[in-house]
Amino acid sequence: MEEVLKGKVALITGGASGIGKAIALAFARAGAAVAVMDLDTEAGAAAVREIGETGRPALFLAGDVSRSKDCRGAVERTVAELGGLDILVNNAGVICRASVPETSEQDWDRVMAVNVRSVFLLSKTAIPVMAAAGGGAIINIASGWGLVGGRRAAAYCASKGAVVQLTRAMALDHGPENIRVNCLCPGDTDTPMLRSEAEQLGVPVERLLADAAQRPLGRIAQPEDIAQAALYLASDAAAAVTGISLVVDGGGLAGS
C-alpha cells in the first residue's frame, strides 16, 4: 500500500474495535503513527499490539470521551509521545434503539455525551495544536441516520444530525487555519454495535444482518469499507475537500 499518510500522527477514538479499529489499522498501513483512545483497556491494548505489527508507532489511551480531562489528556499524550497531531478521527459512539417515550433521560444524556460532546471536547483541544502546526484533518463519524430519520433510534438520530451540522460549522471556522473537517456517514456496518442493536430490539442477529443487506449493492458494509473512505479524507487526495458528509452505505440512501 502506498504510504499516503507517511509522517502523520493520528488520534482515533473508539479505536479498540469495529470501525475505529479498522481505521487505525488502515492509517498505520498507510504510514501514520496512531493513538487509540477507548474505555475498553483489554481490547485497546490488543488493538495497539496489532497496529504495532505494521511497524508503525502505536499508543493506547484509556479514557472516557465524554470527560474533558480525559480528552485533553489524550491529545496531550499523543503530541508528547508521538510527536504531534495531524489527524483526529472522532469515531466513538453508542446507540439506543428506542423512541422518545421509550428513552430514559439517562440514556438520552449518555448518547449525547458519547456521540456529540466527545466531538466537541476532542476538537476543542486538538484544533489549537493543528493550527499551530500549520493545519490538519478532522473526520467525524456520523451516520446515514444523521441525514435521514430512523425508527426507534430517536436519541441516536438526533446525535448524529448534530455531528453533521457541527462538522459544517467547524469546516467554516477552521478552513482559514488549513484544518479540513469532514464527516463520514456509514450505513449498517457489521460491527459489535450493530449486533448489540439486535439485542436491544429483541430480534435475531441473523435477521438484522439480512435486513441490513437489503440495499443496491446487496451486502452489509464491513469496517474496512468505512476505513478506506476515512483514509481518503485524511490524505492529500482530499486536500480541497472540507465540510462534506460522505455517505458510505452501499446505496441505501440513494432513493431517499
Separation between Cα atoms, residue 137 and residue 114, nearest integer Å? 21
59 forms beta bridges with 35
Cβ count near 82 (within 10 Å): 21
Are 207 and 242 in contact, with CB atoms under 8 Å apart?
no
DSSP letter (8 states) at residue 116: I
Specify whether 156 is catalytic: yes
201: enclosing H helix or E strand: helix 192-201
What is the rounded CA–CA span in Å between residue 168 and residue 183? 9
Grid cell listed for 28: 498505520
Query: What single DSSP character describes residue 109?
Result: H
- Among the listed residues 82, 117, 156, 171, the single catalytic one is 156
Contacts of residue 96, Cβ cutoff 8 Å, sequence gap at least 6: 103, 107, 108, 110, 111, 153, 155, 156, 200
Q: Which residues are catalytic?
A: 156
